[in-house]
Amino acid sequence: MVIKKKPQVSVVVVVHNMQREASRTLYSLSADYQQDIDPDDYEVIVVDNGSNPPFDTSVFDDLRGNFRVIRLYPAPPSPAHAINVGLASARGDIIGVMIDGARIVTPGLLHYARSGVRMFPGAVVATLGWYLGYDQQRWGIECGYDKDREDAMLEAIDWKNDGYRLFEISAGDETTVDGWFGVICESNALFLSRENWTLMNGVDEGFDYPGGGFVNLDLIIRAFELPQARLVVLLGEGTFHQLHGGIATNASHDKIADKVALWRAQYEQLRGREWVPSGLPKRVFVGQMPTQALRHFARSIMQPSGFPPFGEDFDRQLWTSAGMPEPTDPVCRQLLELIRTELRAEHFAAAAAVARIARRAYPDEFTILQLLQTVAPWLRGAGDPESLGPIRRTWYFLAVGRANEILGRFEEAIAAYRSALVVDPDAAAACFGICRIQMPGVQYKHWLNMLQQRLRPHVYLEIGVENGHTIALARAPTKAIGIDPAPAIERPFQTETHIFAETSDAFFARIGKQLPQGPIDFAFIDGMHEFTHALRDFMNVEAHATRQTVIAIHDTIPFDEITQRPDRQRAFYTGDVWRTMAALRRYRPDLTVITIPTAPSGLTLVLNPDPDSRVLWDHYDEITAAISAMTYDEFDQDRHTHLNIARNDPALLDDYLEVRESTL
C-alpha cells in the first residue's frame, strides 16, 4: 500500500501461528473499526515472529488503513526481538506495542492513546487487559471453553459493529485484575512517545523464554522509571485475549506455576532484584466509559480483589473511611448512628433528611458533613419527599421522626411519625415512636429486669415467651417456667428454665391445682392479646399464687382504636387487654392495680392477689359480657381511672410494692 504521509501513530503487533486470532485483531485496528482517527494518521506494523506457515497477508486486502508485515524466519522463541524490530521500523512519533497479536481492541484505542501520549512528556499510556469467555481462560478451558464457543460468542454480540460489547463477555486478566484503580503490572497495548522508547532502548532481549517470560512485566516497570513518567490509563478501552494456545495465558493452572518460577528467576538474574509489582502513585484517566464496562468499573471500586482504592478502612456501606473521631456530644452521636443505620439499610433519602437535620443542630461536625456529602443527591431541592415512592417516603418520615425525637423536638417528631402512618397505616415503627414520646422513660423490659432483681422469686412464670428475651431476664436461683404454643428462643437462659410449647389454657388444665415447682412468686402475662384470654390467664395465675405474688400484664395501654381490636388489624397490636384491667378494677377492688406508662404499650402490676377468691370464676360470663360491651371511646375518655395510671419512674418501684410488703 502507498503511505500518503508520515503517520502520527505506529502500532507494533507481534504474531506467531495465530492466523485466526490475528485476523480479528487487525480488523479491530483497521480504519473501518477505529473511531475518531484518520486512516492516514496511523500505521500498523505486523511482525511475524517465525509463524509456520507464514502469516497470510491477504487479510490486509479487506482492511482499510496502512498495514505492512515484517517476517522473521527463523525467529527466536521470545517476542522481544520482534518488538525491537517493529520499533526500529516504526515511523510515528507515538508508538504502541502489542506483544500478543491475539488481542482484539476497542474502537477508541488509537484515538485516546494518541491523546494520552500528547498530554505529558513522560506519558505511559496503558490499556487494561481482558479475557474473552467470562473467566480467566485457563479455567475456562477446563470448563469446556474452546475456539468454537469463542467464535459463536463473538458472532452473537456482533462486536465488529460495537466493539465495546466485548466487555459483556469478558473478565479482567490477572495482571490488571482490579483494573482502573489497582496496580497495573503489564499492558498489552502500551503507548509511549518515540523519544521514550529510545530512552528505554526498546525491550530487553535477555528475556528469551518462549512467550517472553516477564518481558512485558519488565517493560512497564522500566517505563514507570522514565524521567517525568506519568501513568495515563485509558478509561473505557481494552484488549481482549482470544484462545490460541498462548504460553502463559492458556497454560493450565497446574503447569503455570512452574513456568512462572522460571520466568521470575530469569527476571531476578537480569535485574538483580526480586520482581515486585510497581506503579505510579498518581494516574490520569483518558477516554469514555461505555455502559458495557460500567459493571466492571463499579466492581473494581466497591469490591476490589486487591488493595481497596479508598484504603483498607473504607466502609463500602457508608462511603466513608473508618477511624474518624466520633462526636463528643451524646445527642450528636445518636444522630450520627441514625444516619449510618439508614445508609446501611440503603434508605438514602431518609439518610439525607437526617443528615440535614443533624447539620442544622451541629453545623461544624465533620463526620455528619462527610455523610451528607454522600447522600445529598438522593434528596433534591428543598428535600420534598413527595417525589419518593410510598415505601421510601415512609422510610423518610420515620427517619425524620426519629431524628426530631433524638433532638427532643417532640411535636415535630410526632407529626413526622403520623405522616408515615398516612402513607403506610401499618408502619409499626411510627407507632413505636409516638409511644416512646407519649410514654417517656424506661421501657417495659427495664421494669421486668428490676422486678426480677427486687423480688428474687423462687418461681417465675411467663405466658407468651416468643423469642425468650424477657424470660432470659430471670436469674439463679429462680426457677423459670415459660408457656408458648410456638416458642422461638433467641437468648441463652440464666437459670433453670422449663419451656412448655402449648397454650396457657392447656397448661393449667394439665397441671391441676399445684405447680410441681411450688406457688408462683412473680408472673408476666404477655400471651393472647384478647380480653377473655388475658382474663383467664390472670385467673389461672392467681389460683397458683400467694398473697405476696406480683403479676405483671403487658400491652395494657392501647395506641388507638384500630390497634386495640381483638381481631388483629395492624403490625403494631395490643389487642383489648385493657379490658382485663377495667374488669379487675370494677369487680376486684381487693386487688391493687397499678399501670405504668412504659413504652411501647404499658405494663400493669397487680398486687395482693387472692388464690382463694372465686369472684372471677363464679361470674366469668357476666363479667366478660359487661366489660366487652364497653366501647373504646368510653374507656379512652377515662383511661386513667380504668387503668390507675401511675408514673414511669423506676425510683418509685418500692412505693408501688408497698401494698404487697404490708401483707407480709
539-565 pLDDT, tens digit per residue, is: 999 999 999 999 999 999 999 999 999
Homologous superfamily of 9-286 in CATH? Spore Coat Polysaccharide Biosynthesis Protein SpsA; Chain A (3.90.550.10)
End-to-end Cα spacing for the chain: 115
Is the pLDDT confidence value at 532 over 50? Answer: yes
Question: Which of the four pLDDT bands, split at 50, 70 and 90, describes residue 381?
Answer: low
pLDDT band at 339 (very low <50, low <70, confident <90, very high): very high
Confidence of residue 663 (pLDDT cuts 50, 70, 90): very low
**Mean pLDDT, to the nearest integer, of 156-167?**
97
Q: 466-497 pLDDT, tens per residue?
A: 999 999 999 999 999 999 999 999 999 999 99
pLDDT band at 374 (very low <50, low <70, confident <90, very high): confident
- Neighbouring residues of 378: CB distance < 8 A, sequence distance ≥ 6: 348, 349, 351, 352
In the predicted structure, residue 382 carries a pLDDT above the cut 70: no
pLDDT band at 657 (very low <50, low <70, confident <90, very high): very high
DSSP string covering 94-131: EEEEES-TTEEE-TTHHHHHHHHHHH-TEEEEEEEEEE
Question: Are the C-beta atoms of residues 400 and 416 closer than 8 Å to each other?
Answer: yes
pLDDT tops 90 at residue 313:
no
pLDDT at 254: 62
- Between 660 and 520, the higher pLDDT residue: 520
What confidence category does residue 249 fall into, taking pLDDT thresholds of 50, 70 and 90? low
What are 260-270's pLDDT values in tens digits? 999 999 999 99
Q: Is the pLDDT reported for residue 1 higher than 50?
A: no
Q: What is the pTM of this model?
A: 0.76
Report the pLDDT value the prediction gives residue 87, as an integer from 0 to 100: 98
Q: What are the boundaries of each domain within the chain?
A: 9-286, 320-438, 444-662
User: Mean per-residue pLDDT for 496-515?
Assistant: 94
For residues 589-599, give the mean pLDDT.
97
Each residue's pLDDT tens digit, 601-647 = 999 999 999 999 999 999 999 999 999 999 999 999 999 999 999 99
Res 305 pLDDT > 80: no
Q: Is the pLDDT of residue 250 over 70?
A: no
pLDDT at residue 345 in the model: 92
DSSP letter assigned to residue 641:
H
| Cβ contact 188:127 at 8 Å | yes
Please state, in angstroms and rounded to a whole number, the distance separating the CA atoms of residues 457 and 477. Answer: 8
> What would the mean pLDDT of 114-123 be, rounded to a whole number?
97
Q: d(Cα 497, Cα 500) in Å, to the nearest integer? A: 10
**Helices 366-375 + 330-344 axis angle, to 10:** 20
* Strand locations in 30-175 (E): 42-49, 67-72, 94-98, 103-105, 122-132, 170-172
CA distance 417 to 402: 8
Per-residue pLDDT at 538: 98
**Residue 664 — pLDDT band, cuts 50, 70, 90?**
very low
Q: What is the mean pLDDT of residues 223-235?
A: 95
- Residue 255 pLDDT: 67
Question: Would the pLDDT of 423 be above 70?
Answer: yes
Identify residue 369 by its one-letter amino acid code. Answer: L
Contact 313, 322 (CB under 8 A): yes
Asked if residue 280 has pLDDT above 80, the reply is no
Q: Please report the pLDDT score of residue 383 as a whole number.
A: 67
Give me the mean pLDDT over the 206-217 stretch: 95
Q: Which CATH code of 1.10.287.3510, 3.40.50.2020, 2.30.30.30, 3.40.50.150 fits the domain covering 444-662?
A: 3.40.50.150
For residue 181 the three cell numbers come to 484503580
Residue 258's pLDDT band (cuts 50, 70, 90): confident
C-alpha R_g of the chain:
39
Model confidence at 248, pLDDT cuts 50, 70, 90, reads low
Distance (Å, rounded) from C-alpha 282 to C-alpha 413? 48
Average pLDDT over residues 290-316: 79
Mean pLDDT for the chain overall:
92
pLDDT digit string, tens, across residues 317-331: 677 766 677 889 999
What three-state secondary structure class fits 501? coil
- Specify the pairing of strand 320-321 against strand 314-315: antiparallel
Cell of 74: 527463523
Instruction: Decide if pLDDT at 594 tops 90.
Output: yes
Same fold, 9-286 and 444-662: no
Q: How far is residue 613 CA from its own chain's centroid?
A: 59
Residue predicted with more confidence, 254 or 67: 67
- pLDDT over threshold 80, residue 460: yes
